[in-house]
């Protein structure tokens, strides 16, 4: 299945899109990061909000994929708000095993769709590619 999605790969002349994966569970983070690399993405990993902000301040990323519930003072919603304020062209996709898509704060509904855990990596990659497309739909439409 990965091969069919891989054939729709990125522009050979352009660098691979860089995804920031923010996930506090090491095994989940590693599985997602490894899977995304297999699909041709560059991946940066953060275990909490502070580490995510440090990466965002030092490294250009194409998309942020963050768990909502992470340790520390910043949760995934806070990261999405930071990206919206300081990197408005960078799409954000949030995930949670506890928060339902309908529970997203009203200010984030259209800019940070919420994907329920567990998720299918191939389907997630499709969402990432759609969000990274120059003609992508509003982010709220991707949550459906």
CATH code assigned at 98: 3.40.50.2300
- Give which of 13, 19, 14, 11 is closest to 125, Cα–Cα: 19
Model pLDDT, residue 3: 36
Adjacent-strand bridge partners of 63: 19
Rounded Cα distance between 92 and 94, Å, is: 6
Rounded Cα distance between 102 and 36, Å, is: 27
Model pLDDT, residue 115: 87
Model pLDDT, residue 105: 78
Rounded Cα distance between 104 and 80, Å, is: 11
Would you write out the chain's pLDDT as a tens digit for each of its 144 residues?
A: 343 344 345 555 567 899 999 999 999 999 999 999 999 999 999 999 999 999 999 999 999 999 999 999 999 999 999 999 999 999 999 998 887 767 777 777 677 788 888 989 999 999 999 999 876 544 443 333
- Which position has the token pair 């194409």? 62
Number of structural domains (the chain) is 1
Task: Give the domain range for residue 123.
Answer: 2-142
CA angle, corner 35, sides to 3 and 77, nearest 5? 130
Pairing of strands 92-96, 63-67: parallel
């Amino acid at each position: 299945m990965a091969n069919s999605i891989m054939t729709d790969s990125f522009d050979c002349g352009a660098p691979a899109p860089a995804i920031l994966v923010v996930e506090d569970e090491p095994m989940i983070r590693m599985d997602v990061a490894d899977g995304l690399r297999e699909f041709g993405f560059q991946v940066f990993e953060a275990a909490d909000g502070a580490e995510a902000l440090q990466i965002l301040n030092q490294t250009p990323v194409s998309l942020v994929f963050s768990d909502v519930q992470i340790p520390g003072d910043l949760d995934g919603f806070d990261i999405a708000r930071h990206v919206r304020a300081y990197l408005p062209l960078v799409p954000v996709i949030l995930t949670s095993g506890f928060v339902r898509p309908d529970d997203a704060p009203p200010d984030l509904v259209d800019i940070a769709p919420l994907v329920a855990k567990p998720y299918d990596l191939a389907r997630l990659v499709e969402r990432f590619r759609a969000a990274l497309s120059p003609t992508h739909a509003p982010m709220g439409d991707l949550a459906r």
